[in-house]
Amino acid sequence: MYLGDQIKIMKNSRKYILLFLCSLTLLIACKQAQPILEYYSIQGETMGTYYNIKYSDRKGRNLKPSIDSLLVAINQSLSTYIPDSYISKLNANKDENISMPIDSHFNTNYYEAIKIHHQTDGLYDPTIGAMTNYYGFGKDRRVLRENISPVTLDSLKALVGLTKIQLEIKNDSCYISKNDPNLQVDFSSIAKGYAVDQISKLLSAKGCENHLVDIGGDGLAQGVNPSNLDWSIGINKPLENSALNDFALVITVTNKGLATSGNYRNFYTAGDIKYAHTINPKTALPEISTLLSVSIIADNCMLADAYATACMVMGLEKSQTLISKMEGIEACWIHDEDQDGTLEMTMSTGFDKWVKSN
């Protein structure tokens, strides 16, 4: 090789090295210019339980005031424990000729409940409030019920029915009325999931795409966790003495909602009868079976919350048939067929793909 060629190669090598160093410097500068993706945790109380939220935010904002404000608005619409909430005013109204104004929170829960009511052949019903209160699982003080007569059951069943509610729109505002002054509406089986979804939407609107919202064990996961992985959510063992972190299994999800319904915590015993908060609107009796809990994965937590309750009312076989026909909804049933404390687990076709492997 001639000396001139060697000099030319050396010059080209220096040029490429300089270009590489410049590119590397530019890359490092750009990376340093990007804000670090920090995750934040906030906690609080709402709807008679806790909330726990984790979210990423490049701006480092404390979003608790915004979230608490949203929760106050939802409770002011849907809480039966707040005397002047929209739902409490409707339940207290004894004049069937008066239409009560409602807001968008109430309206959304009402229409979603109607859909699920029809899909479950009426076994999911938001007008079950009178039954809930009678057994002491609503806002009224708990009263132990024994030796309930058929006449009482018939009178309770007469207070249930979506056809007894009318919704109308006047001047772009929604109003609701009821035919029976004693009918009581209760959205407790869907409102918590709805609140989870609304918080998730608030976080996404603020640019916090990675978050996990948990209200009393019902949650919705979006994006990734601080380890850049799908979020992990535990499903409790449905046992009376189980701790909140005593899990039957753990699932890993993203962009999905999860809710669990069960009778293993909210119940009481009167005489030889166990009364749980899951009540069958067609029999007016608490639904007790070998089915201990149902966990639902759906595209949002509102659906998961409502279907989990519906499945508990329907029982194992009927709810399995229902879920098998539903698109985008998966379920895990935990049951004790021999009633000896041995937990059995049954999953719908697509549920097991979310289960976290050890």
Q: Tell me the pLDDT tens digit for each residue of 116-161.
A: 999 999 999 999 999 988 888 776 666 667 778 899 999 999 999 9
Looking at per-residue confidence, does 89 or 5 come out higher? 89
Q: Which residue has the higher pLDDT, 25 or 58?
A: 58
Residue with tokens 């869907």: 190
Say if residue 162 is exposed, middle or buried (CB neighbours under 10 Å; 0-12, 13-18, 19+): middle
- Average pLDDT on 245-269 reads 84
Question: Going by C-beta distance under 8 Å and a sequence separation of 6 or more, which residues neighbour residue 207?
Answer: 57, 58, 59
DSSP tag of 239: -
Could you read off the pLDDT of 100-117 as tens digits, one per residue?
999 999 999 999 999 999
Does the pLDDT of residue 46 top 60, yes or no? yes
On whether the CB atoms of residues 129 and 139 are closer than 8 A, the answer is no
Supply the pLDDT for residue 298.
Answer: 97
Residue 21 has a pLDDT of: 44
Percent of the chain having pLDDT more than 70?
84
- Which band of pLDDT confidence, cut at 50, 70 and 90, is reported for residue 303? very high
Q: What is the pLDDT of residue 321?
A: 96
Closest C-alpha among 1, 271, 278 to residue 147: 271
| Helix-strand-coil split of the chain, %, nearest 5 | 35, 25, 40
277 within 8 A of 266, measured Cβ to Cβ: yes
Looking at residue 29, its pLDDT comes to 38
Structural domains of the chain, with CATH: 39-354 (3.10.520.10)
Residue from 190, 188, 186, 137 nearest 159 by CA: 186
Q: Are 86 and 106 in contact (CB under 8 A)?
A: yes
pLDDT value for 320: 96
Q: Which long-range contacts (CB under 8 A, 24 or more apart) does 319-325 make?
A: 319/291, 319/294, 320/346, 320/348, 322/119, 322/120, 323/348, 324/348, 324/349
Output the pLDDT for position 148. Answer: 83
Per-residue pLDDT of 205-231, as tens digits, reads 999 999 999 999 999 999 999 999 999
Going by C-alpha positions, the residue among 259, 323, 252, 347 that lies closest to residue 297 is 259
Identify the band that residue 78 occupies on the pLDDT scale cut at 50, 70 and 90. Answer: very high
pLDDT of residue 139: 67
Q: How many CB atoms lie within 10 A of CB 232?
A: 15
Mean pLDDT of 292-308: 96
